[in-house]
């Protein structure tokens, strides 16, 4: 039988990030786990290792209302049902007992079918509002099983046809199984009455155990198809697997079985939190079996790298060697200064990152390009600078009337008319610069290779305008090393082209050094830059993202779309305005526009061609500057 672990993601399917986030919040509320993730698989599943629940793709490509109610039924069943009502100890014992049974897949699926009926009734009794979703679920799955039954019978898949019959019988749906398999139906159907009296997982198992001897010798083959995967991820690690002797004791875990799915998730979550850190990763990935001298041992520290050092003007942690310095930006290109990502979302829990200062390109060709591009952009830069200066001057001339003290108004009528007159005014306090800060993230993935020149030109224009206005800004390129990425470690690098503290420094040479890398983890990058912007004192914070497509990184996939949308929403809740510019050599397709809308909302702009990058950058920047100057 095909394993659920071989399920292939539908990469061409476009998910609604807003809907996914809403359903994820519901799952978190029902389970009480604040960082629980949500994804989609062939069948509903639990993934305690990755701290995720999986909805079924069964509900795709249907009427929106049906899809909504169907997915809600998945969540109710998983998060409000199996989460606390499914007995793991009984389930594991039964799996072990049926390991060598010729019909083990059928019997295990039957137990889960019986449990779904029992748990559904319990959830409806506790939460009556869930009944419409479950009613739709029973109807559509009933149609599925009654529709598949004749197909399975015609192909000789008798076990599958019998399973279709089980679903129909316990849900009161008429089918045609008895006319084809009268003997089998006559033996099994009376046993199914026990399902309606089941009050626990053990009761459901007993019904399956009563059914097993009746099928022995009458069914020659096990199930050909997979109907349930809800129990597949609840078996824990294989008992014979461990890295080396030093971890055997830890792998044994606590004594006794965990009784519920919720307890299992909590255990995995607690263990993962306590076992994070490069001190463990290095030992597991590079260590070897042997006796070691423990006299010089020191406590491990999460976020430390095995080869990190501090140098230059930065200081190093005495125990970890990780470089620290005042402020939030790297001052040296230290390849060992890796940091463990914490608080960057569940999709980025295995990310480590470093911040490097890009090395400026001082070649004659680079200098010639900078000079040529700046000559082309001088009129635009001057126009914006002049406009912003006029706006600032107008702010200086504006007066605040009706004050209790200040300069006396030329028409102090309020002295005669009001009991408590306020005949004074004041001019606005002069401002030398905009009270705003800008962060620019540039996608450094491999797909940017054919757009580098125009991207550099647009970034240089952005830099020159803000530098001319003496406005604080930071520019960084983000990328993930696909060759080094693993399930437990995804290295991301941020190359600073211009740091916030560089102020009016001309970093055109660094901008010209921009190169394409491998992958892009957009949601992580947005959170990273947002954290830097939040440390700034300016009243207005803007974050621009230049990218040429959807997120693409190790294990990111469609979760990357949801993660990016969530990161953007989090940033905007904290007062950061996020703008996205799609860099492409052709106009954005309808699918791409919908994708960017899901991730960035209405603040996503597409350039019709490569030549339009700088024009769109100029237009966006002008709007943001006007917005900032109008709220001074």
Assess whether pLDDT exceeds 60 at residue 242.
no
Percent with pLDDT over 70 in the chain: 76
**pLDDT tens digit string along 581-603?**
998 888 888 888 888 888 888 88
Query: Rounded CA gap, 559 and 17, in Å?
Result: 9
- SS (HEC) of 562-609: HHHHHHHHHHHHCCEEEEEEECCCCCCCHHHHHHHHHHHCCCEEECCC
Query: Rounded CA gap, 586 and 581, in Å?
Result: 13
- Among the listed residues 85, 89, 88, 90, the one whose alpha carbon sits nearest the alpha carbon of residue 125: 85
**CA dihedral sign, ordered 208, 210, 213, 219:** negative
Write the burial class of residue 131 (CB in 10 Å: 0-12 exposed, 13-18 middle, 19+ buried): middle
Residue 558 pLDDT class (50, 70, 90 cuts) = confident
Instruction: Mark which of 184, 218, 233 sits at the end of a domain.
Output: 233
End-to-end alpha carbon distance in the chain: 66
Angle at 184 between CA 181 and CA 186, to 5 degrees: 100
pLDDT at residue number 136: 97
Query: Rounded CA gap, 177 and 245, in Å?
Result: 55
pLDDT at residue number 561: 87
pLDDT at residue number 252: 41
pLDDT at residue number 110: 96
| Better-scored residue on pLDDT, 307 or 376 | 376
- Identify whether the C-beta of residue 233 lies closer than 8 Å to the C-beta of residue 47: yes
Which whole number is the average pLDDT over 428-442?
78
Instruction: For residue 449, give the CATH number of its domain.
Output: 3.40.50.410
Residue 326 pLDDT class (50, 70, 90 cuts) = very low
Residue 265 pLDDT class (50, 70, 90 cuts) = confident
Distance of CA 6 to the CA centre of its chain: 22
Helices (H), 175-225: 177-180, 182-188, 201-215
Question: Which tokens hold the place of 242?
Answer: 């461990």
- Inter-CA distances, 147 with 159, 164, 177, 237, Å: 15, 9, 12, 37
Residue 202 pLDDT class (50, 70, 90 cuts) = very high
| DSSP label of 442 | E
pLDDT at residue number 228: 92
- Does a structural domain hold residue 281? no
| Better-scored residue on pLDDT, 3 or 302 | 302
Assess whether pLDDT exceeds 70 at residue 277.
no
By residue count, the chain amounts to 632
- Identify whether the C-beta of residue 230 lies closer than 8 Å to the C-beta of residue 78: yes
Which whole number is the average pLDDT over 93-97?
94
**pLDDT tens digit string along 22-35?**
898 899 999 988 88
pLDDT at residue number 258: 46
Q: Assign 475 to helix, strand or coil.
A: strand
Query: Rounded CA gap, 421 and 240, in Å?
Result: 86
Which stretch of DSSP H or E encloses residue 546?
Answer: strand 540-547
- Among the listed residues 618, 596, 603, 546, the one whose alpha carbon sits nearest the alpha carbon of residue 572: 603
Instruction: Mark which of 178, 206, 233 sits at the end of a domain.
Output: 233
Ranked by mean pLDDT, which of 284-288, 298-302, 396-400, 589-593 comes out on top? 589-593
Write the burial class of residue 542 (CB in 10 Å: 0-12 exposed, 13-18 middle, 19+ buried): buried
**pLDDT tens digit string along 61-85?**
899 999 999 999 999 999 999 999 9
pTM score above 0.85: no
Instruction: Mark which of 203, 218, 233 sits at the end of a domain.
Output: 233
Assess whether pLDDT exceeds 80 at residue 190.
yes
Query: Rounded CA gap, 335 and 355, in Å?
Result: 9
- Does a structural domain hold residue 593? yes
pLDDT at residue number 197: 94
Which stretch of DSSP H or E encloses residue 378?
Answer: helix 364-397
Q: Please list, in sequence order, all residues whose beta carbon lies within 8 angstroms of the beta carbon of residue 568, skipping any fewer than 6 positions away.
A: 526, 578, 599, 600, 601
| Better-scored residue on pLDDT, 152 or 327 | 152
Question: What value does the mean pLDDT of the chain take?
Answer: 81
Which whole number is the average pLDDT over 292-310?
43
Q: Are residues 229 and 368 in the same domain?
A: no
| Better-scored residue on pLDDT, 14 or 116 | 116
Assess whether pLDDT exceeds 80 at residue 310.
no
Residue 245: how many other CB atoms lie within 10 Å: 10
- Identify whether the C-beta of residue 388 lies closer than 8 Å to the C-beta of residue 629: yes
The radius of gyration of the chain's CA atoms, rounded to the nearest angstrom, is 31
Number of domains in the chain: 2
Assess whether pLDDT exceeds 60 at residue 513.
yes
Residue 564 pLDDT class (50, 70, 90 cuts) = very high
- Does a structural domain hold residue 306? no
Which whole number is the average pLDDT over 87-111?
94
Which whole number is the average pLDDT over 308-315?
41
pLDDT at residue number 407: 61
| DSSP label of 50 | T
pLDDT at residue number 421: 65
**CA dihedral sign, ordered 601, 603, 609, 610:** negative
- Does a structural domain hold residue 270? no
Residue 171 pLDDT class (50, 70, 90 cuts) = very high
pLDDT-wise least confident of 159-168, 172-181, 386-395: 386-395
| Better-scored residue on pLDDT, 338 or 34 | 338
Which whole number is the average pLDDT over 483-498?
94
Which stretch of DSSP H or E encloses residue 46?
Answer: strand 45-47
Which whole number is the average pLDDT over 226-254?
54
- Does a structural domain hold residue 384? yes
Assess whether pLDDT exceeds 80 at residue 256.
no
Q: Please list, in sequence order, all residues whose beta carbon lies within 8 angstroms of the beta carbon of residue 167, skipping any fewer than 6 positions away.
A: 113, 141, 142, 145, 173
- Among the listed residues 288, 279, 284, the one whose alpha carbon sits nearest the alpha carbon of residue 306: 279
- Does a structural domain hold residue 73? yes
- Does a structural domain hold residue 81? yes
Percent with pLDDT over 90 in the chain: 52
Structural domain that includes position 535: 364-391+435-630
- Does a structural domain hold residue 535? yes
- Among the listed residues 180, 186, 184, 147, the one whose alpha carbon sits nearest the alpha carbon of residue 164: 147
């Amino acid at each position: 039988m095909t394993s659920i672990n071989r399920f292939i993601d539908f990469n061409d399917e476009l998910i609604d990030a807003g809907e996914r986030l809403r359903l994820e919040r519901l799952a978190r509320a029902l389970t009480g786990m604040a960082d629980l993730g949500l994804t989609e698989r062939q069948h509903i599943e639990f993934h305690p290792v990755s701290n995720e629940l999986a909805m079924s793709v069964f509900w795709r490509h249907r009427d929106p209302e049906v899809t909504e109610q169907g997915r809600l039924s998945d969540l109710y069943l998983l998060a409000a049902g199996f989460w606390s009502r499914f007995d793991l100890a009984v389930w594991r014992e039964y799996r072990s007992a049926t390991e060598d049974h010729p019909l083990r897949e059928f019997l295990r699926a039957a137990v889960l079918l019986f449990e779904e009926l029992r748990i559904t009734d319990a959830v409806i009794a506790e939460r009556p509002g869930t009944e419409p979703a479950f009613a739709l679920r029973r109807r559509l799955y009933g149609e599925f099983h009654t529709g598949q039954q004749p197909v399975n019978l015609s192909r000789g898949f008798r076990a599958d046809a019998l399973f279709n019959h089980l679903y129909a019988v316990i849900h009161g749906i008429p089918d045609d199984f008895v006319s084809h398999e009268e003997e089998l139906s006559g033996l099994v159907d009376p046993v199914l009455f026990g399902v309606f009296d089941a009050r626990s997982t053990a009761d459901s198992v007993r019904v399956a155990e009563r059914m097993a001897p009746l099928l022995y010798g009458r069914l020659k083959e096990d199930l050909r198809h997979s109907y349930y995967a809800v129990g597949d991820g609840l078996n824990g690690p294989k008992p014979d697997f461990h890295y080396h002797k030093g971890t055997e004791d830890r792998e044994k875990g606590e004594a006794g079985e965990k009784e519920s799915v919720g307890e299992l998730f909590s255990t995995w979550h607690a263990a993962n939190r306590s076992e994070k850190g490069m001190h463990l990763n290095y030992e597991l990935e590079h260590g070897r079996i042997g006796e070691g001298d423990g006299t010089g041992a020191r406590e491990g520290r999460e976020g430390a790298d095995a080869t990190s050092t501090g140098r230059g003007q930065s200081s190093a942690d005495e125990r970890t060697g990780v470089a620290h310095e005042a402020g939030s930006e790297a001052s040296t290109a230290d390849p060992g200064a890796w940091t463990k990502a914490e608080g960057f979302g569940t999709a980025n829990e295995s990310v480590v990152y470093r911040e490097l200062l890009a090395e400026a390109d001082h070649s004659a060709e680079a200098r010639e390009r900078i000079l040529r591009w700046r000559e082309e952009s001088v009129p635009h830069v001057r126009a914006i600078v002049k406009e912003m200066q006029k706006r600032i001057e107008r702010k200086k001339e504006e007066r605040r009337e009706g004050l209790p003290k200040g300069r006396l108004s030329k028409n102090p009528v309020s002295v005669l008319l009001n009991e408590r007159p306020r005949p004074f005014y004041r001019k606005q306090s002069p401002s030398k610069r905009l009270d705003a800060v800008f962060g620019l993230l540039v996608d450094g993935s491999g797909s940017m290779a054919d757009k580098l020149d125009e991207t550099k030109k647009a970034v240089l224009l952005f830099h020159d305008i803000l530098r001319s206005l003496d406005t604080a800004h930071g520019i960084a390129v983000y990328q993930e090393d696909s060759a080094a990425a693993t399930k437990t470690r995804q290295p991301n690098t941020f190359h600073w082209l211009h740091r916030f503290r560089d102020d009016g420094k001309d970093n055109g040479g660094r901008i010209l050094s921009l190169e394409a890398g491998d992958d892009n983890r957009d949601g992580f990058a947005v959170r990273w830059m947002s954290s830097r912007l939040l440390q700034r004192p300016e009243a207005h914070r803007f974050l621009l993202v230049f990218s040429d497509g959807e997120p693409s990184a190790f294990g990111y996939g469609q979760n990357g779309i949801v993660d990016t949308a969530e990161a953007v929403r989090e940033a905007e809740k904290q007062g950061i305005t996020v703008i996205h510019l799609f860099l492409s050599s052709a106009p954005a397709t309808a699918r791409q526009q919908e994708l960017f809308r899901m991730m960035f909302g209405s603040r996503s702009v597409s350039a019709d061609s490569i030549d339009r990058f700088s024009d769109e950058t100029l237009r966006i920047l002008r709007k943001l500057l006007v917005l900032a100057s109008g709220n001074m």
